Each structure stands twice: as structure tokens, then as C-alpha cells.
Structure 1
Amino acid sequence: MPDVIRERAGVPVLVCDPAGPPLVTEQDALDLIGAAFAGAEVVAVPASRLGDDFFALGTRFAGEVMQKFVNYRIRLVVVGDISRHLAASSALRALVYESNRADQVWFVPDLDALDARLRAGS
């Protein structure tokens, strides 16, 4: 399945294919943002498409990607099991906790959790 824009809980979401290309550069993030400009407010990226550099906060890659989405006012949602990464990093646990308290970047276990979050309004 290619990356497609689908309405989820009344919100247009670019749902990214788990088998799609990995997001490993800032340009990859910008490409997803560009695809979202076709009408999506949210980009749902499977955690499987994010490399270890994203979850290793010392690389600063996650911050760079997240900032791109904030700058373009497109919500980023990382979808999937990241428990392995969370177990290895208290800093990542803190980032996920704080992100999920806000409205711009979320980490959710699956698309059903994304739907529930969207229905709740934040």
C-alpha cells in the first residue's frame, strides 16, 4: 500500500505505508511534509520506518525532524511499538511523555489509538 491520505476521526491523515522507504534524512521528512500538503493535517509514520538514529536522541535527528513538522504546521504521529527504544533511554521516555501531552507530535501504539486521540481533540 502506498502512503495515502485517509480521513480518520474526521481529520485528513497521511497514513504512511509500513513497507515504505525509511525516514533517515531531513529531506525524507520534507518529502512527507510535501506529500501532506495534498490535504493532510497529520502524518502517521510507522515506527518501523524510523531508524535507530531517530530514537537515539544524542544524534539530534528526532529533534530536527520534529522541528520540520512544527515549522510547517503538520502534526507528526509515530505509530507503533517503540518499547525497545523506551527501555534504553530515559531521555526518550521523557520526550514521548512531553510530546504526548502537547498537540504537535504524538507517539501512539496503533492507528486505533490515533483515532481515539483525534476524536478527543488533542
Structure 2
Amino acid sequence: MSELLTIHDVPVLLCAPEGGTIGGERDALDLIGDAGYQGAQWVVLPVERFDEAFFRLSTRVAGDIIQKFVQYAMGLVVLGDISRHTKDSSALRDFVGECNRGRQTWFLADIEELREWLKS
């Protein structure tokens, strides 16, 4: 289940926490297609939807998924608390920091934080 919202004139596909696990490129392409069909510029995915491998950078799952979003010029927001993943991984902390400096993929705590980011 997903909902198309407009936040600061930006169409955003907000995905429900319940639903299929996002674990690879095929899942990413399905989301990108759905979002594009609905006219969204960003897909907001709750952290619960990601396969655990996404948060282990050595698996390359995060890179593969994010690359698909980049290829199709669709923004991706990983929404929710990922501290249990970043507390033991300096590489993941660095990756999140790098992503959040860009305009393509953001790791944000909640919808209110997304509203602030889209305002600027």
C-alpha cells in the first residue's frame, strides 16, 4: 500500500511499513515504475521494508538499489531509525552522511524531517 502526497509542491510516493521486502534491483524497479506511473519524484520507504542485507554495505544491495533510483532519476528516502545498523558500522554511518549531502538519496528519521528537507 502506498499513498501519493504532495509536500512543498513535490510529489512523493509514501510506502506503508507493511508490504513486500525490498531486497534487490527487481524490487527497486517495481517501486520506481509504480512511483513514475503515479507521477512521484520521490519514493519514501520505511526502514522496515528493507532486507537486512541493505544495511550491510559489503553485500552491495544498498548500492544496487540506489543505483537503480539514480538511473531513473527518482529520489529515494529511507525513512526511520537506522541507529541499530549504524552503531556498529562506521562505513554505513559514512555512507548515510554522504547520501544526505546529496539530492538523490536521503536517510531521514520521519515525515517531518522530510518536510524540512523538501522545503530547502
Q: State the TM-score, normalizing by the size of structure 2.
A: 0.96
**Cα displacement string for residues 21-65 of structure 1 (whole angstroms, at most 9, x for unaligned residues):** 110121111000001112000000000101210000000000000
In structure 2, the residue matched to 1:48 is 48
| Same amino acid, percent of matched pairs | 48
After TM superposition, the structure 1 stretch with the greater mean CA deviation from structure 2, 35-44 or 4-13, is 4-13
Distance (whole Å) between structure 1 residues aligned to residue 76 and residue 28 of structure 2? 10
In structure 2, the residue matched to 1:114 is 114
Q: Secondary structure at the match of 1:21?
A: coil
In structure 2, the residue matched to 1:11 is 10
Is contact 2:24–2:64 with CA below 8 Å preserved after alignment?
A: no
Is 1:21 the equivalent of 2:20?
yes
Q: Give the gaps of 5 or more residues in structure 2.
A: none
Is 1:75 the equivalent of 2:75?
yes
Q: Secondary structure at the match of 2:87?
A: helix
In structure 2, the residue matched to 1:59 is 59
Q: Give the gaps of 5 or more residues in structure 1.
A: none
Aligned length: 119
Q: State the TM-score, normalizing by the size of structure 1.
A: 0.95
Distance (whole Å) between structure 2 residues aligned to residue 16 and residue 99 of structure 1? 20
Is 1:101 the equivalent of 2:112?
no
Distance (whole Å) between structure 2 residues aligned to residue 21 and residue 8 of structure 1? 25
Q: Which amino acid aligns with 2:4?
A: I
Displacement over 6 Å in runs of 4+: none
After TM superposition, the structure 1 stretch with the greater mean CA deviation from structure 2, 53-62 or 9-18, is 9-18
Distance (whole Å) between structure 2 residues aligned to residue 5 and residue 93 of structure 1? 30
